[in-house]
Structure formats: C-alpha cells, structure tokens
Amino acid sequence: MPDALASPSVPPAPPTPPIPLAALLAREELGLRLLAGPEDRDLHWVHTSEMGDPYPYLLGGELLLTAGVQLTDPGHYVSRVVAAGAAALGFGVAPVYDTVPPALVAACERHGLPLVEVPPPTTFTAIARAVWRLMAEARHRELRRVAQAQQGLATAAARPDPVPAVLRQLTARLDGAWAVLLSAEGAPLATAGRSPSPETHAALARLARVVSPPPEPAPLESTGPAGSPPPAARPAPATSTPPAARPAPSSATDTVGDGHLAAYALAGGQRLVLAVASDRREAGDHTIAGVAVVLLSLLTTPHQGAAESARAAALVRLLLGADAGEVAPLLGADEWIVVHARPAAEATGPDPLAAAALGAALGSALVDATEEGGVRVLLAGGAREIEPQPGWTLGVSAPVPPSELPAADLRAERAVRRAEATRSALVRDRGEAGGGLASLVTPDEARAHARVRLAPIAASPALVTTLRTWLSLHGSWDRTAVALDVHRNTVRQRVARCATLLDADLDDADVRMDLWFALRWL
C-alpha cells in the first residue's frame, strides 16, 4: 500500500542521515566485534546509559552503549531495549565484566538485536565520535549529490525540449530510474529511462491516482419515469451529509518487489503527475525529485499574467508606504496563513530552487528563502488544509487578517521549532482565541514586565532562546537539545545559569508560568 501518510505511532527519523552498523564495525581502530544479531541495521544516533531499564530514555534507532553496571536480568533488559526500538546494543568489556555475559548474547540472538562487543581500549566517546563523523560524511555526500542534481536539472530546463530533458536528467541522477509525466487521465505525456515491467506500470498508475484522484462526478438530475412527479415534487431521501473529502497528498511512495516507486503531484491546477520507478532508494532522492517537480510545474503551468500583475502592484504599494490591509485585496484574500519550513537535511544557506519547489507544492508564489536555510511561505485564504511535505518540517500559523501577519509570523516560527523538537512533520499553531489571562494585561505593561523580569539574561540570546525552548517543551532536556541542535548537558548548563541570574526556582510552577509570560513579550 502507498505510504503517503505516516502512522502517528511511528516517530519520524531525525534530520540526520543514518549510517549502517556495518560501516561502524569496519572502523578497525575501534576494534568492535559483532557477537549476535544482523549487521544490516541503520544507526540514527548513539546513547549511553547504565540504567537498569533504559526504555523511558530511548527514542528508537540508537546504538545503546552500556557497561552493564545494573544488568541483573539480561533477558528482560534486552526485551525492553528492543521494545524501545533501539537499533543495536554495544557492551563495554571492563570494568564491570571481563567478558560479555553469555546470557546477554543469547537474549540478543533470540530477539534479533545486534550485540557489539566494545574492547577495553575503546571508549564510548570514541564510538560516538566515529558515528557522528560517518553521519557528517554521509550528509556531505548527500548534499553534494543534491547540489549537482539541481544544477543538471536547471540546465536541462533551459534546453529547447525542456520537459523530456528534465526527465532524462532526473533518471540519470537517480541512477537509471524510469520517469514518466502523466496527464490527468493517466496517459503518458513524456518518458525517460528504461521502461519497467507491466506490473510496475500498473502500480505507478495506481500510485498516481493517490496524489491526483479523479474528480467526483456531478450528480445527474433525473426526470423520472413517465407518469411520476417531477424531481422537485418527490421528497428527498433521508441521507446523512457525506463527510468532507480528504485532500490528496502531494506525494506518495510504494514498492513492487525490490523496486521503489514514487508519485508527485505537479502544481498549477493541471492535475499532472510525475511518477518515478527505481531499483533502490537513496538519501536525497526525494529532494532531487522535488526539484524536478517544481521545474516541471513551471514548464507546464500556463502563464498567469493577471496574478503576476496583482503581485507587482501589491509590492509597489507596499514599497511606497501602503498598509498591508490596503494591499491584501489585490492578492485576492482577506485572511492569510504563514508557514515556516525547515529542510530535513542541514542547509548551508538560502536555496531559492528548493524554496520555489516548496511554494509550488503548497500552492503559493509568495516565498522567502531565509539566510539560515529555512523558508517562509504566505498562503492566501483561511480555509486551506496544509499537508506535510517530504523533506521539510513545517510550522503553520492560524488564519489571520493582514494586520496580524507579524504576530502570525512569530507563531509560525514557534510552531516549526516545536515540530523540530517533537520530530513532527507539521505542527499547527492553535491561535490566540480567547486571549486567556494574558488578555487582562495591556501589551505595554506586559513588555515592561518582561524587560524588568528578564533583564539579567536579556543580553544573552543563547540563554533567552534556551529558556524559552525548555519551558515550551515542559522542561525536557532531550527535546530541547534536539530543537536547539546542542548537547543536553549544554541545555542543563544554560538553564542552570538562567536560574542563577534570575534568582528563580525553576521547579516552581508559578515561577515557570511567570517566566513564560515574560518571554512571550520580551
């Protein structure tokens, strides 16, 4: 079945490329030895714990390192590690054990959990450093491959036959894949690469209907048989109101045998679909296909002269001092949604092509690629349903009138930070309906209180950001570390420094509430 929508019970992978366990075992300087289980596991991170039950502290996908300080029941311990979703277990020989306990080896073999022996000269820190180095190398290879593919696809789009050229370049960058551009009726408009089997053709056609389902047929008016009353005179059948149709995803994937399939809906309202079949899936494939999607969308969408003229007129009026509320009607909307997006892969700077691809997928040309590699998108209309986008983490504001866009921008930024911390593909801002207790204080009073209360740390953006993120995540060290991309010990040190400078007991709920209120208005 197509995996267009991920199960909410399965946490998304972290924004770092995993590495195979076999690559870590191949590092001869570490001297690691596989004692049980398979070596074809992917490692997403490294975690060290001497807890008797590490289950509550694992996120899944870890190489868990332990010296067995509190290992009393190997069978129960391994079952808990497997239940937490750890990828592998590394057992350090010495100082607690001279050898890996046979009962632990048997339990790992029984549960299919890879067990790695860590010899005495090798420190856990050295293993963690090796994993991060391998991840950095993998990320560098991925980014270089994506950058080269972007250049090749952009060059192909400038050729006299741009659509076939883009498809040919895409199949070359995806290492011999087959690509087809399908019409709204499912007919192939252009293809590139070696044609796959009929079974794959049929599976791609089904997958294309997932991202571009046929429109619902309009109900037919019947005059009824001869002698019967006209339709208006007959009583309407007692039926319940049908539920609203679920919007189609912008992309979907599937597998046929050992092959990988993907389908992407093109923007522009033409209901065209890019379908791709490949023998294997590599990191960066979806990003490369996304670049091809935006190029094909631009190449196949009719020129919208009226819309471009309206955007130009709005920009001119804003530059000449007009209010946003006066300009908004030119763009055809009274309410707006702000979307903040962060790429799953680490970005080195603004990427206009990736930003344009995201804007096309969301259906907006109002896109801003920030210097930090993120993207801001402005969407017209308050009733839009924003869907998660492959390769992006999204924060979505509530619909607001033009006068409240700056506040919506801040709320979208907070939402995307929360999405990163919880490793969610998309987080929606709930808005400020009702105002709560904060509405009882004027903004000027709130800002004055914030300046006085937070004066001891106001000069340190790192402390302010850490305290705000830590409070928003209910004091979770690990989730705050993920959100800020720092070590959890750094989070602890910064929060302790904030407590000292503010002379505050951060274990007190009233103090936390007061600081959170102040941070909102700083």
Kindly list the domain boundaries of the chain, sorted by start residue.
19-122, 139-213+249-300, 333-428, 436-521
pLDDT bucket at 189, cuts 50 / 70 / 90? confident
The whole-number pLDDT of residue 491 equals 92
* Res. 430: pLDDT tops 90: no
* Secondary structure of 131-178 as H, E, C letters: HHHHHHHHHHHHHHHHHHHHHHHHHHHCCCCHHHHHHHHHHHHCCCCE
Q: pLDDT tens digit string along 241-275? A: 444 456 778 888 888 887 888 999 888 677 889 99
Q: From CA 222, how far away is CA 243, in angstroms rounded?
A: 24
pTM: 0.46
* Res. 81: pLDDT tops 90: yes
444's CB contacts (< 8 A; 6+ apart) are: none
* Res. 142: pLDDT tops 60: yes
Give the mean model confidence (pLDDT) for residues 310-334. 73
The whole-number pLDDT of residue 348 equals 54
* Res. 10: pLDDT tops 70: no
List of E strands, 234-347? 251-256, 259-265, 273-278, 336-343
Q: pLDDT tens digit string along 157-188? A: 887 678 888 999 998 888 878 999 888 888 88
The whole-number pLDDT of residue 211 equals 85
pLDDT bucket at 402, cuts 50 / 70 / 90? confident
Q: What is the mean pLDDT of the chain?
A: 81
pLDDT bucket at 216, cuts 50 / 70 / 90? low
Most confident of 312-321, 342-351, 512-521: 512-521
Of 116, 3, 14, nearest to 424 by C-alpha is 14
Q: Span 436-521: which CATH code?
A: 1.10.10.2840
The whole-number pLDDT of residue 369 equals 81
Q: Span 19-122: which CATH code?
A: 3.40.1390.20
The whole-number pLDDT of residue 315 equals 74
Phi first, then psi, for residue 92 (nearest 5°) are: -85, 120
Per the omega criterion (within 30 degrees of 0), is the bond before 95 cis? yes
* Token duo for residue 434: 């009702």
The whole-number pLDDT of residue 304 equals 52
Instruction: Put residue 325 in one of left, alpha, beta given phi > 0 → left and psi -120 to 50 → alpha.
Output: alpha
* Res. 239: pLDDT tops 70: no
pLDDT bucket at 105, cuts 50 / 70 / 90? very high
Give the mean model confidence (pLDDT) for residues 418-437. 70
Most confident of 54-68, 279-293, 343-357, 399-413: 54-68
Of 132-141, 144-153, 385-394, 434-443, which gets the smallest average pLDDT?
A: 434-443
Q: pLDDT tens digit string along 464-521? A: 999 999 998 888 999 999 988 899 999 999 999 999 999 989 888 888 888 888 887 7
Chain position carrying tokens 């790992």:
108
pLDDT bucket at 438, cuts 50 / 70 / 90? low
User: In the chain, what's the furthest Cα-to-Cα distance?
Assistant: 96
Share of the chain above pLDDT 70, in %: 83
Q: Tell me the helices (H) and strands (E) count for the chain, helix number first.
A: 16, 17
Environment class of residue 397 by beta-carbon count within 10 Å: exposed (0-12), middle (13-18) or buried (19+)?
A: buried
- The class of domain 139-213+249-300 in CATH terms is alpha beta
- Cα-Cα-Cα-Cα torsion 433, 436, 440, 442, nearest 10 degrees, comes to -50
Q: pLDDT tens digit string along 21-49? A: 999 999 999 999 999 999 889 999 899 99
* Res. 422: pLDDT tops 90: no
The whole-number pLDDT of residue 108 equals 95
